[in-house]
Chain A
Amino acid sequence: MSHADHASAEDLDRHQTEVAPGEEFAEEDIGKGIRGYLIGLALATLLTVCSFAVVHAKFVWAPAVPVAVIVFAIAQMGVHLVFFLHITTGPDNINNVMALAFGVLFVVLLIGGSVWIMSNMNSNMMPATPPSSSPQSSQPAMPMTRPMRH
């Protein structure tokens, strides 16, 4: 294979190489990069304002507020990943995305599993007895974990 042939093959392969996490491919153009960060900043600000507004103003049905806040938070994390950390679904990013997917799996298992198990145990617990008859009632013996009230 001649050298020129090899060089052209390298050019062909450029879009198939890897990209480090946090790095945009071919970001020689600084103006284009600023535009991406500005879009990310605008979207993140919008989502933050939305989640604060949902809690402050009472225009959302009250039991739906936590769900709305969580949805806005997940959306904002996605905005950060795409526009600030430059995680894409492109072939140059596949290693980064696989590692991220593994991390997300762990996070979901940890938080979801803990909340599920502990709320199940809380609902199975006997209600706390009022500290009236026992002699050591000067210190109210409340259980450390009370069932959540919402």
Chain B
Amino acid sequence: MSGTASPAWVTALRGDPYHLGHTRDGHGESRATGRGTGGPSPKRIIVAYGFWIFILSDIVMFASFFASYAVLQGGVSDGPTGPEIFDLDRIAIETALLLLSSFTCGMASLALSARRMLLFQTAMAVTFCLGAGFVALEVMELHDLIQRGAGPSRSAFLSSFFTLVGCHGLHVTVGLLWLLTMMAQVLTKGFRSDIVRRTLCFALFWHALDIVWVGVFSVVYLMGSIT
């Protein structure tokens, strides 16, 4: 084999979009940002990536609550069991509200990137109403349970249930406050780059809460209602 001719597999790796081996087209490094010679990534990407890491850590925290719920599910201590206290119709409405709010939040992100103020504020307001409806339904449900003597101190099952569902509801409540803050900031300060970054992070947070809710209604309510 001569020194100049490349073997066939080197040709196959050329132009690898994943930049394995740091080469692009077989010669030199890419000038794309965030890849060494291209310099650091734009702040928008770094901020959103950092917030993505936070969201994943938040999901790991929810996973520990899910694990404790799964372990303590059978410890009803002669108290009410899941099928006795779960109202699946209410859960279906809550699910629909949160899913629709995730969609309108996506509309708000699109309006944000298109810099359309009226569309953005409308979509965020609709998102707030849907999210507030979700929180109201959940507070009513938990309040009913406590009134009926099925509070978090009744049994291990109810402790873990209140922790998991209440923690998700708390996240949604905090998200609602953040939503109002972003509406006000975009309204007063306009589509400034730092405000846009914050709103991008809010949209990530809101979509992630919907993903966690998918786990909650499937594992807690649907699987808990199977007799």
- Residues of chain A having any CB pair with chain B under 8 Å: 6, 9-10, 13, 15-23, 27-28, 30, 33-34, 37-38, 40-41, 44-45, 48, 51-52, 55-56, 62, 65-66, 69-70, 72-73, 76-77, 80-81, 84-85, 90-91, 94-96, 99-100, 102-103, 106-107, 110-111, 113-115, 118, 122, 140, 142-150
In the assembled complex, the CB of A93 is this many whole angstroms from the nearest CB of chain B, namely 11
Known: A16-B19, A94-B18. A107 touches B60 (CB 8 A): yes
In the assembled complex, the CB of A32 is this many whole angstroms from the nearest CB of chain B, namely 9
Q: B226's contact among A52, A65, A113, by CB below 8 Å, is which?
A: A65
Dominant secondary structure at the B interface: helix
Q: Number of B interface residues at 8 Å Cβ cutoff, please give it.
A: 70
Q: Report the number of A-B residue pairs with Cβ-Cβ less than 8 Å.
A: 180
Known: A20-B45, A107-B63. A99 touches B31 (CB 8 A): no
Residues 63-87 of B contacting A (Cβ, < 8 Å): 63-64, 66-68, 70-78
Could you say which residues of chain B place their CB within 8 Å of the CB of A113?
67
Known: A22-B204, A99-B52. A13 touches B67 (CB 8 A): no
Contact present for B63 and A20 (CB under 8 Å)? no
Could you say which residues of chain A place their CB within 8 Å of the CB of B76?
146
